[in-house]
Amino acid sequence: MAAASAELSDGNKEGGIFLIDRKLIFENGSCFLGKGFGADVDAVHEVVFNTSVVGYQEIFSDLSYHGQLVCMTYPLIGNYGTREEDYEAKKPSIGGLIVREYNGDLPSLGSCKTLSEQLKELEIPGIYNVDTRQITRMIREKGSQRALLTCAKTTVEDGINTLKSTPLLRNHVTAVSCAKPWHSDTANPEYNVVIVDCGVKLNIFHTLVAKNCKVTVVPYDTSIEELFRFSPDGVLISNGPGDPQDNAEVIRLIQQLQGKLPIFGICLGHQLLALANGARTFKMKFGHRGGNHPVKELPTGRITITSQNHSFAVDTESLKGTGITPTHINLLDGTAEGLEIAEDKAFSVQYHPEGSPGPQDNIYLFDRFISFMSKHKQKP
């Protein structure tokens, strides 16, 4: 169990003693005491860890974290506040943040709100001054598990009972996908792209607009007939949260689209492209989350550093006989990071090419998508 009091560097002390008011209780009985920030609400979610040094705003606003408590391994979080232009979603739905040291001093350069103020408005809880190294080691050794973020008075026994009685979340995409189509105002676009929204990051949208595409974002359950009303030159299947096997509507849509239009899948979209072609996916022990994952492109031998956020992966053994060609692998654990069905101009990557860890190393994948759309438009 974490210590019940600790020294702080941000002045939040009373007589030199840390003021305990929040508690994190895990399914295995582990308990961590700390100080709350953000919203003062209880939350039961799966706990995962992210190894990124910067980008906490992009992380908490990434809809792929829907229903997860994210433990940040970098110790200092909140030190540059939040900015409107850095959001990855208009309405973030992360379960909560777990950090070692929270800094609530608002910087003077371009920040609009402190991290705590922003999370409070979004009704997202946080806890700090807990041992994030111990939490991360526990997850790495035992795998991801659920925890209750609650008030300090809650007993471990009551917390575990709450965890046992709280059902597991399913069908995450239905909670984060847009309710109706929306689009960019691109002047004189060269291509029309439809994004199937499973929890799309806004930077994917902005990257395509910067490539002179008109981009229309549609709900996950859009029919092929509705999709073709937007006259797309290509379709992007977005990132998103949860188990890919929960998304029968999107899998069916990919099957109907494949061979008719170029398809580009990112993250969850990568897994859904695999499932649509008869491959399998599995839940990883603790997933990939961070901005430093080395990925090798098999045809060229080129290695890039990538940004990743996923709990599930494609089973490489299940690719045999599907017509899918592996194109990228993760150099840390050998998992499938890229797939292609060349004759259908369909391809995918497990990582986020728009995430800029390189910072521009993987933008070529959007150019490849555009090349496929160009060839498709030139067909007689």
The first and second tokens of residue 378, run together, are 């030139």
The Cα–Cα gap between 9 and 1 comes to 22
Residues designated catalytic: 267, 352, 354
List phi, psi (to 5°) of 42.
-80, 155
Which whole-number Å values give the CA distances from 102 to 290, 322, 336, in the listed order? 19, 48, 36
Bridge partners (DSSP) of residue 234 are 193
pTM, entire model: 0.93
Pairing of strands 213-219, 336-341: unpaired
pLDDT at 347: 98
Rg (the chain; Cα; Å): 21
Give the residue from 342, 349, 353 showing the smallest Cα distance to 375. Answer: 342
Tokens in use for 61?
Answer: 């606003």
Domains of the chain (ranges plus CATH)?
13-165 (3.50.30.20), 173-377 (3.40.50.880)
CB 147 within 8 Å of CB 47: yes
pLDDT of the residue at 89: 95
What pLDDT sits at residue 380?
63
- Under a CB-based contact definition with an 8 Å cutoff, are residues 244 and 270 in contact? no
86 phi-psi bin (left φ>0, alpha ψ -120 to 50, beta other): alpha
Q: Which of 200, 202, 206, 203 has the alpha carbon at shortest distance from 218?
A: 200
What residue type is 367 in one-letter code? Answer: D
Per-residue pLDDT at 112? 82
CA-to-CA separations, 170 to 26, 167, 244, in angstroms, rounded: 20, 9, 10
SS3 of residue 66 by DSSP: strand
Q: What is the pLDDT along the chain (380 residues), one digit of tens a residue?
A: 333 333 333 334 444 455 899 999 999 999 999 999 999 999 999 999 999 999 999 999 999 999 999 999 999 999 989 988 899 998 999 999 999 999 987 765 666 889 999 999 999 999 999 999 999 999 999 999 999 999 999 999 999 999 999 999 899 999 999 999 999 999 999 999 999 999 999 999 999 999 999 999 999 999 999 999 999 999 999 999 999 999 999 999 999 999 999 999 999 999 999 999 999 999 999 999 999 999 999 999 999 999 999 999 999 999 999 999 999 999 999 999 999 999 999 999 999 999 777 677 899 999 999 999 999 988 76
Measured CA to CA, the distance from residue 298 to residue 293 in angstroms comes to 16
What are the distances in angstroms from CA 124 to CA 38, 73, 189, 277, 295? 6, 19, 38, 37, 33
Q: How many CB atoms lie within 10 A of CB 90?
A: 10
